[in-house]
Each structure stands twice: as C-alpha cells, then as structure tokens.
Copies of this chain bind each other. A is one copy, B any other.
Amino acid sequence: MAVTIKDVAKKAGVSPSTVSRVLSNHPRISVETSRKVKEIMEQLGYHPNIMAKSLVSKTTNSICIMLPKSAEELFSNFFFMELIRGIVTQASRLGYDVLISSGANEKEEVEAVSRLLNGRRVDGVILLYSRKDDPVIDFLYENGHHFVLIGRSERYPDTLSVDNDNVQASYDAAKHLISLGHERIGFVSGPPDLVFSKDRLKGFMDALNDAGLEMRPEWIVEGEFLQDSGYRAMSFFMNLPDRPTAIVLIDDVVSFGVLRSLHELKYKVPEDLCLVSFNNIPLSELSTPPLSSIDIGIYNLGYTASQLLIQSIENGNDKNYQKRQIIPHRLMIRESSMHSISKK
C-alpha cells in the first residue's frame, strides 16, 4: 500500500489538512511545521496521488493531443514529432502532463476526445491539423471545451488557434522565384481538405497576380503524392509545351519525391526547374541539391499552442488575449532555387 497523506500526518503529529496545505504551499503555515512535514514526506517516500487530487480539485493538469489519422500523418512525421516536442516542453514547464490520442476515423476521434474531456481526464485539447468540416472541432466547440488548433478553422474563426500566415508565406515563396525572373511557375499542393493547402495556394496565386504572371490550371497539381504518382505527375508536368521553370511545393517531403522523380527523368534542379517548399525539415538541407524551404517554426507552433491552451484553461476562455497567434516564417534559400532566368 502506498503512503498517503494520513500516514504523513500521523507520523508528523499533525492533521491531514496541514499536510495538504504544506503540499500546496499554503501561506498560513508555520515554517517549522512545513519543514518538518516535508522531512517526513521525504523520509516516507510520499507521493501525492494525482487522481485523488484531480477528483476533488476538478482539474487534471493535463492536456491532450489529437494525432491525425495515420494516412494524413505519413505526410510528415517530422512535422508532428517536432510539434509534439514543442507542446510537451512547454506543457511540462507549466506543470501539465500531455496525453496523446488518436482515432482510426473521425467518429473514433470524437469518441476519444469526448471520453477524455467529459470523463474529466484532461482539461483541454490541441488539434494538430485543421481539416475542413471537422466533426471533432464541432464537438469541441459546441460543448464549450478548451481547445486550440494548429492551423485555423474556417467555420469557427474565433476559435483559439496557432498558425502561420500561410498566405503570406506562400506569397513570399512565389515572390522569391519571381524575383529570380521566373515567369512560368507551378504549384504542387497537398490534400485539398487541409486548410493550409488552400491558404498556400491562395498566397501563391496572389503573388502571380500581383506580378501580372500567367497561371495555367495545368501548372497546378492538387492532391498528395509521393513516389509513383509523383513520378507520373512530374513526367506529365515536365512534358507540357510551356512547362514551368519553377514550382512551389506544399511540403519538403513532397519535394523529396519530386526531386527523385526529376532525377530519374534526367532533369536538373535548379537548372531545369527551381523548387521552393515548406516546413524546412532538418533533412531539407541534406538533399541533393539542398532545398529552399520556408521555415514555419514548427517547434514554436507547438510551444505556443501549448501555452495558449493552458492559459485558456487557467484564465478562462474569454480573456482578451490574442485568439489567433501567428508564428513568423522565414524563407531559407538554398541551392534548389538558385537559378535565375534572364528575361527575354
């Protein structure tokens, strides 16, 4: 049997409540008693029972991360791990534990979140992704739970979220290519139901528009693709009569696939095609050639999300802090985009 607050109390010759007060650093407790109690606790190897504490205090000091379904996740393991590190680091700094959960489909996800939140096991949730029309978000929103989104929700714009300015980031990426003289620029997107895919496409289009550049539908490849399908897509892409001289890609991992395909098709990067992508994963500077990429501060996204959620849990949802936090991005220029086009 584990040692409880009563055991400590008895041995210290005080009441359980005194021990409890020592535990929570209650102001009105004599230094002497406190010292003594702490000594006994040490001596007995006392550890407060977290569950019991939670039960009465009605707060768990823990938050939950919802992992995306594996299909989406494969998209970028690096991304999620980095996010998680940020979240866990900040959470534990603030005295919170982090629970990690997932579901095979949206129904299971809602069930998991509901069980955890309604069952009072966690105080709030961080969603690592922003899908369009996500029933999990509906559930969270309708039941007034504490939650924050990595990304943003179109349906509930007033929800707490941590995001990049993806429109601007993508604008910057395109602008970079335009400044190198590229006039035919393509875009390789990700899963269309992810909000950032849309945002990045928009920023891309804005940049082209502002520069008065043409934008052909066949220069825009939608949907996730790696390996095989990537090969076919690139093959098609590079055989277009007026093929682009540069592309913006939704994600570094996609870039790796494209790089591989281009290599097999005997095209040279950046000479035949310039590449700029997103996320700046550690491997992006180790590819051949190194990838230009927009660093979106993944760790920072997680870190900030964690902070925002805990703030909301502790101070209530309706404070007037920033509902939507934007993490700055930064274009890392590397070899994959270092090829300028001289204007004809």
Question: Could you tell me which A residues sit within 8 Å of B by CB distance?
Answer: 2, 45, 47-52, 54-55, 60, 62, 65, 67, 70, 73-74, 77-78, 80-82, 84-85, 88-89, 92, 97-103, 112, 114-116, 118-121, 226-227, 253, 256-257, 259-260, 263, 282-283, 285-288, 290
Q: Which of B55, B85, B287 contacts A49 (CB 8 A)?
A: B55
Residues of B near A282 (CB, < 8 A) are 74, 77, 226, 253
Cβ-defined contact, B256 with A287, below 8 A: yes
Q: Known contacts A286-B256, A288-B259; is A97 also within 8 Å of B81 by CB? A: no
Copy number in the complex reads: 2
Cβ-defined contact, A101 with B97, below 8 A: yes
Cβ-defined contact, A88 with B100, below 8 A: yes
Interface centre among A45, A77, A102, A282 (most CB of B within 10 A): A77
Cβ-defined contact, B88 with A290, below 8 A: no
18 pairs of residues in contact across A and B, judged by CB atoms under 8 Å: A2-B118, A47-B115, A49-B119, A52-B55, A55-B55, A70-B85, A77-B81, A84-B100, A92-B102, A92-B103, A98-B99, A99-B100, A256-B286, A256-B287, A257-B286, A259-B288, A260-B285, A260-B287
Q: How far is A287 from B290 in the complex, measured between Cα atoms in Å?
A: 11
Nearest CB of chain B from residue A157's CB, rounded to whole Å: 27
Residues of B near A257 (CB, < 8 A) are 286
Q: Which of B50, B98, B253 contacts A100 (CB 8 A)?
A: B98
Q: Known contacts A97-B99, A287-B260; is A73 also within 8 Å of B85 by CB? A: yes
Q: How far is A114 from B88 in the complex, measured between Cα atoms in Å?
A: 17
